[in-house]
Amino acid sequence: MNYKIFVTRDIPDDGLKMLRQLKNVVLDIYPGEKAIPRKELLKRVKGADIILSILTEKIDKQVFDAAGPQLKMIANFAVGFDNVDVKEAKKRGILVTNTPHENVCETVAEHTIALIFALAHRITEADRFTRAGRYECWGPKMMLGTDLWKKTVGVIGAGRIGGAVLKRLADGFDVKVIYNDMKKNPIFEKATGAKYRTLDQLLKEADFVSLHVPLCTATKHLISTRELKLMKPTAFIINTARGPIIDEKALLKALASKQIAGAGLDVFECEPMIDCDPRDNLELRKMENVVLTPHTASATIEARQAMSRVAAENIIAFIKGKTPPNVCLG
């Protein structure tokens, strides 16, 4: 049997090389860097046995219908899989996989820590200040930031990325580490030295709050007006998970009023838009106490090639009649 695999965007080549070595595979890759238009996606998936999807594509009932009854697998090129209707896929007997990898966890943890330092030491703000020619002489009160040393860092989500963030900061910068999850996690505590807190306790106590939970019904707007009011006015929030975990409107108001000190955001609620409502005159891009990156927390050569290989490994296992190593259960 030949398998037609439609790839919704060109991906790093390690995984594609693995798939091209298979004699019974035909690859159809949508070219370019930009997301495939919805109309084109529905057209191109027709007849596909497997879709290798990117997190920017919503893979739902409409896509399943457009592909046809022969569609048997969605290999999602992402750790998260909130872009795929896993329940509908399960009803139709369509397998869904994702691409977790140790390298990805380490990369996202590094990016999270980079955002923490950028906020604490006002790195991007100072860069803009210097480039604009505003640096005229050194001053003892110019661009004062805050130390990370001895501060309290709290992560929401006791997974591998959150654990990597806490362990590296605790080992290297003598910070106090705390965490919140659905329940206490003794394994996580032993690995990181972190102490469990309720969500409210963590928000009140932490100087830096970092989000590492998947996006689902329970976590959408997990951080909103009430939660932001619990944070210290000197505290920062960092999100490298999914944009809708934070209520953007509430965050904008908290930042504008200096209810919190700042935010480091790699993801956005209405992504790729940076602001959901451009009419409210509260633009993240204009706020000096915000550091923004364009969903690039996992954007290293090593991490993205690892994701490419994992996607291919999932597909190859499926084609060989084996259970792929990374099946999404929803």
111 and 47 fall within a common domain: no
25 and 122 fall within a common domain: no
Structure confidence at residue 275 (pLDDT): 86
- For the packed helices 123-131 and 102-120, what is the interaxial angle rounded to 10 degrees? 60
Q: How many domains does the chain have?
A: 2
Choosing from 110, 271, 283, 302, the catalytic residue is 271
Whether 242 is catalytic is yes
70 and 119 fall within a common domain: no
Structure confidence at residue 38 (pLDDT): 96
Choosing from 121, 168, 221, 295, the catalytic residue is 295
39 and 179 fall within a common domain: no
3-state secondary structure string, 236-270? EEEECCCHHHECHHHHHHHHHCCCCCEEEECCCCC
Please check whether residue 23 lies inside any domain of the structure. yes
Structure confidence at residue 32 (pLDDT): 79
CATH number at residue 178: 3.40.50.720
196 and 237 fall within a common domain: yes
Position of tokens 């009932």? 61
- Measured CA to CA, the distance from residue 198 to residue 187 in angstroms comes to 18
Q: Spell 150-182 as b/e; 16+ CB within 10 A means b.
A: ebbbbbbbbbbbbbbbbbbbbeebebbbbbbbe
Q: Domain range holding 58?
A: 3-98+301-319
83 and 230 fall within a common domain: no
Cβ atoms < 10 Å from Cβ of 222: 19
241 and 199 fall within a common domain: yes
DSSP annotation of 47 reads T
Strands 50-54 and 176-180: unpaired
- Measured CA to CA, the distance from residue 98 to residue 269 in angstroms comes to 22
Please check whether residue 325 lies inside any domain of the structure. no
Whether 295 is catalytic is yes
40 and 141 fall within a common domain: no
Whether 313 is catalytic is no
Structure confidence at residue 1 (pLDDT): 79
**Judging by beta carbons within 10 Å of its beta carbon (0-12, 13-18, 19+), is residue 14 exposed, middle or buried?**
middle
107 and 252 fall within a common domain: yes
Please check whether residue 324 lies inside any domain of the structure. no
Contacts of 280 (CB under 8 A, 6+ apart): 249, 252
Choosing from 122, 197, 242, 304, the catalytic residue is 242
Tens-place pLDDT, residues 47-75:
999 999 999 999 999 999 999 999 999 99
Q: Which secondary-structure segment (H or E) carries 98?
A: none
Please check whether residue 195 lies inside any domain of the structure. yes
Query: Torsion angle, CA of 20/22/26/30, rounded to 10 degrees?
Result: -30
Query: Torsion angle, CA of 113/115/120/123, rounded to 10 degrees?
Result: 120
Tens-place pLDDT, residues 171-190:
999 999 999 999 999 999 99
- For the packed helices 13-20 and 301-319, what is the interaxial angle rounded to 10 degrees? 30
Structure confidence at residue 280 (pLDDT): 74
Structure confidence at residue 80 (pLDDT): 87
Structure confidence at residue 330 (pLDDT): 63
Please check whether residue 327 lies inside any domain of the structure. no
Please check whether residue 152 lies inside any domain of the structure. yes
153 and 243 fall within a common domain: yes
131 and 222 fall within a common domain: yes
Cβ atoms < 10 Å from Cβ of 270: 12
Tokens of 104: 């990805």
Structure confidence at residue 206 (pLDDT): 98
109 and 242 fall within a common domain: yes
Tokens of 14: 């390690």
Please check whether residue 326 lies inside any domain of the structure. no
Please check whether residue 329 lies inside any domain of the structure. no
Which residues does the chain have with pLDDT short of 50?
Answer: none
